Amino acid sequence: MKTPDTNNDLHRHAFHLLLLIVTVGLAWVLLPFFSALFWGVMLALIFYPVQRRVAARLGNHRNLAAIITLLIAVLLVIIPLIFIVMRLVEDVSTAIDQVRSGQIDIAASYGKIVDILPGWSQSLLSQFGVHDISAVQQRLTEGAAQISRFVGAQALLIGQNTIQFIVGLGVMLYLVFFLLRDGAHISRLIRRAIPLDDEHKTLLLAKFTTVARATIKGNVVVAAVQGALGGIIFAILGIQGALLWGVLMAFLSLLPAIGAAIVWAPAALYFLATGHLAKGIILVAFCVFVIGFIDNLLRPILVGKDTRMPDWVILISTLGGMAVLGINGFVIGPLIAALFMASWSLFAQEKDANKAT
């Protein structure tokens, strides 16, 4: 005959199994909207301080404050992002058509850049098979054709999935509204449900919130400013596709130790190789001093040392996250790295405390 303790253990294990099954089941059901849900949570984290200020001014009318905050998020983030993506797709298609038609001769420009490089650099390029202009031309033509097919397929896919995109956007905004309105209550429920010590929960949740806000608020804002400045200087100097290059510089600015120099340095070399010394010098000076100054000025203010992770950890986790999860990975990667480091730090502290006793 089973004892009461045995029955309690059986019931507890059965309940834990049920809890695991329904949790995995819910995750499976919500998987198609993972990106919408993830970015909804991130937007709520970023704009929650705004929600609290608006609610305080409105006498704690949470519904109205959440609606106003959501409208602010839409005006500042969603609408500009949609506009940039639409223009970017148009610029990419135009640039590909110009390359394929020969209107933009990248191979000739590449040859001029190679000619001004020192001898050791040309030898290094020869070893990698990228010194021969005709071979580069063939590779660029093949690459342009592949990119053109990819862009066409993606445009068709976007057209076919317009309804899915609208539904995902609606789900994200709907989630943001309720997270803004009930954020404090939801946070308390999560804290109660997590089966960890209070100290551990406080530290890990604080680390999660800090890294998420620092990654988005800091790195994305800095990258957006750098990309905007890069696009403006490209447009002033008459470089075609300034929006495309600006977006690319913004994207590369998200990666520590790499930065936007991958984009503007070849452009500066091209100006110098073609005799446009003034444009080359202006581009180098602007990008080094102005864009570099923006990075050194804004990043410490917006990010500070809250993440407390070395640049190489951020770089590797960002690249790894994006390789596995796409655009979502530039936030999820550093988040996982931060929680990894925080968890092992807690484990080491407990181990040291046990040794001391």
User: What average pLDDT does the segment 296-301 reach?
Assistant: 68
Cβ-contact 64, 58 below 8 angstroms? yes
- Distance between CA atoms of 108 and 136, rounded to whole angstroms? 10
pLDDT: which is higher, 132 or 189: 189
User: What average pLDDT does the segment 267-272 reach?
Assistant: 78
Per-residue confidence band for 71, with pLDDT thresholds at 50, 70 and 90: very high
Q: If you write DSSP's letter for every residue of 274-294 in order, what string do you get?
A: TT-HHHHHHHHHIIIIIIHHH
Of the ranges 60-64, 133-137, 295-299, the best mean pLDDT one: 60-64
- Distance between CA atoms of 10 and 19, rounded to whole angstroms? 14
pLDDT of residue 300: 64
- Distance between CA atoms of 222 and 330, rounded to whole angstroms? 14
- Distance between CA atoms of 213 and 17, rounded to whole angstroms? 34
Of the ranges 149-158, 286-295, 303-312, the best mean pLDDT one: 286-295
What six digits make up the tokens of 297?
Answer: 């000025």
- Distance between CA atoms of 128 and 356, rounded to whole angstroms? 57
Per-residue confidence band for 152, with pLDDT thresholds at 50, 70 and 90: low
Cβ-contact 272, 280 below 8 angstroms? yes
User: What average pLDDT does the segment 164-174 reach?
Assistant: 83
Q: How is the chain split into domains, by residue range?
A: 32-193, 197-347
Residue 77: partners with Cβ closer than 8 Å, 6 or more residues away: 43
Residue type, 163: I
User: What average pLDDT does the segment 326-342 reach?
Assistant: 79
Residue type, 83: F
Residue 131 has pLDDT above 60, yes or no: no
Share of the chain above pLDDT 70, in %: 70
Quick: pLDDT tens for 191-227: 787 777 777 777 777 777 777 777 777 677 778 888 8
Q: Is 255 left (phi over 0), alpha (psi -120 to 50) or beta?
A: beta
303 burial class (0-12, 13-18, 19+ CB within 10 angstroms)? buried
pLDDT of residue 101: 63
